[in-house]
Amino acid sequence: MAFLAFRISAQENHEHEHDEEFDTALEVIIGRGGEENICTSVPECAEEKLDCSKCINFLTDKKNEATTKAKTLSSEIAVMDRQINLTEARIAATEQQIQYLQDDIDITEDKISNLEIDIEDVSRALLNRAKAAYKYGNVEPWQVFLTSGSIDNFFTRLKYLKIVQIYDQKNILAAEQSRVNYSNQQNILTDKQDEAKALSAQLEAYNSQLEQEKGNKNALLEVTKNDESRYQKLIAQVQAERAIVFGGGKDVFMREVNQGDSIGAIASWGVSPGCSTGAHLHFEVGKNGSLQDPNSYLSSTSIQYAQNYNFDIYRSINPQGDLPWPLNSPIQINQGFGAQPNSSFYGPSGHTGIDMASPSLTVKSVKNGKLYGGSYQCKSGPLYYAKVEHEDGLVTWYLHMIPD
């Protein structure tokens, strides 16, 4: 009997020691302090000795500060660099969270393993006690008294009877507590595994975001040739094109035109210097006030892309409509629809038209309609354009050309 009581005490001490180890490990993880937690993957934060959580706030402030500065190529690049650093910090923080969670998961799995051993030990003890009870039956105090040879023997046997009863109660309580603890730890493990899975998905999204942000920066440098003057011209050109398409230009009705009629010619930079980086036609399509993909309206034709054309930046074209092109062949594509998405020039949707050129310079209406000629005043001079209103709410724009 004394051995059985000692066994219960040893089990309780083992579980208590394990809980202390578990709590100590959690304190180490939750504390997450010290030099080893500095966000070393982001140099700027490492210099400030910031952990990844504080690094995110630090870089967010830096990015907001850079955003308020004047719109220049250098300031735009600075904002992009800040955003890249911010995403890198978020990646580092998420990786750190995943590692902490994995440590928690390992500890929880270890505790579950120990609980399985405890449950097995307690179950074995209960089984042995059940066998003994079946073999000898339950002994009542009056039975002990009747079978005792003396009063001393009676009290000695009664004491051990109480020890056995206490042992039985402790085994039952230990079995129930182990079962509850096991169930709780299994729930904790499932929650942590789900959290780790969600963080892994977030990490993948951040890595994709980082790749896109670096791509946007590289695209900006390539499009502008890292030249401030070119950057300012491109900004002005995009702003003017958007203003014209949304009614900001001054245009007048000229005449009715048929499909294929000449409506003017591509203007040289000397004739139409306003908001332009060179001679080309910017062609857009709208319907009922909404911008459309010109590929859905223009028919398939023979085209070529500009020299050293970067398809990742400027996009390819895929005409699938039935309307003729506004230029004569051969047609050169300078920029496709949807080019440079998420850029400082075009925003999330990207380029909303197709930029093209042709040796003939003649611009033609793609469909019957009413021709309007107009201009938009830029700092560097006028930007001339034509607009043709067709049936069914369809409108086509022809920018950087002289209408006639």
**107 and 52 housed in the same domain:** yes
**pTM (two decimals):** 0.66
* pLDDT at 13 > cutoff 60: no
Q: Which of 89-105 are b and which e, b meaning 16 or more Cβ less than 10 Å from the residue's Cβ?
A: bbbbbbbbbbebbeebb
**pLDDT (0 to 100) of residue 172:** 64
> How far is residue 355 CA from its own chain's centroid?
32
Of 193, 224, 255, which residue is a domain's last? 224
Higher pLDDT, 285 or 10: 285
Is residue 232 situated within a structural domain?
A: no
Looking at the fold, whether 294 and 361 belong to one and the same domain comes out as yes
Give yes or no for residue 66 having a pLDDT over 80.
no
Q: Can you say how many angstroms the Cα of residue 324 is from the centroid of all Cα atoms in its chain?
A: 41
- Same-domain status, 255 and 377: yes
Tell me the average pLDDT across 259-271. Answer: 90
Q: Are 285 and 386 in contact (CB under 8 A)?
A: no
Total number of domains constituting the chain: 2
Instruction: Identify whether 301 is part of a domain.
Output: yes
Q: What is the Cα–Cα distance from 29 to 39, expressed in whole angstroms?
A: 16
CA distance 113 to 133: 30
Q: 144 and 256 in one domain?
A: no
Q: Are 383 and 275 in contact (CB under 8 A)?
A: yes
Instruction: Give the pLDDT score at 126.
Output: 61
Are residue 122 and residue 259 in the same domain, yes or no? no
Domain presence at residue 392: yes
* 241 inside domain: no
Distance CA 198, CA 206 (A): 12
Determine, yes or no, domain membership for 103: yes
190 and 47 co-located in one domain: yes
Query: Are the CB atoms for 121 and 187 separated by under 8 Å?
Result: no
Q: Are residues 104 and 196 in the same domain?
A: yes
Is residue 11 over pLDDT 50? no
- Domain match, 159 and 296 both: no
Q: Are residues 322 and 266 in the same domain?
A: yes
Picking from 173, 191, 224, the residue at the C-terminal end of a domain is 224
Q: Where does a domain end: 192, 224, 256?
A: 224
- 239 domain residue, yes or no: no
**Largest alpha-carbon pair distance within the chain?**
132
Q: What tens digit of pLDDT does each residue of 70-113 get?
A: 688 998 899 999 999 999 999 999 998 999 999 999 998 888 88
Do 134 and 279 lie in one domain? The reply is no
Over residues 135-170, the pLDDT tens digits come to: 444 555 555 445 555 666 555 655 655 665 566 666
Q: What are the tokens at 153?
A: 């023997």
Domain hosting 311: range is 247-403
- Mind listing the pLDDT tens digit for each residue in 347-396? 888 999 999 999 999 999 999 999 999 999 888 888 999 999 998 899 99
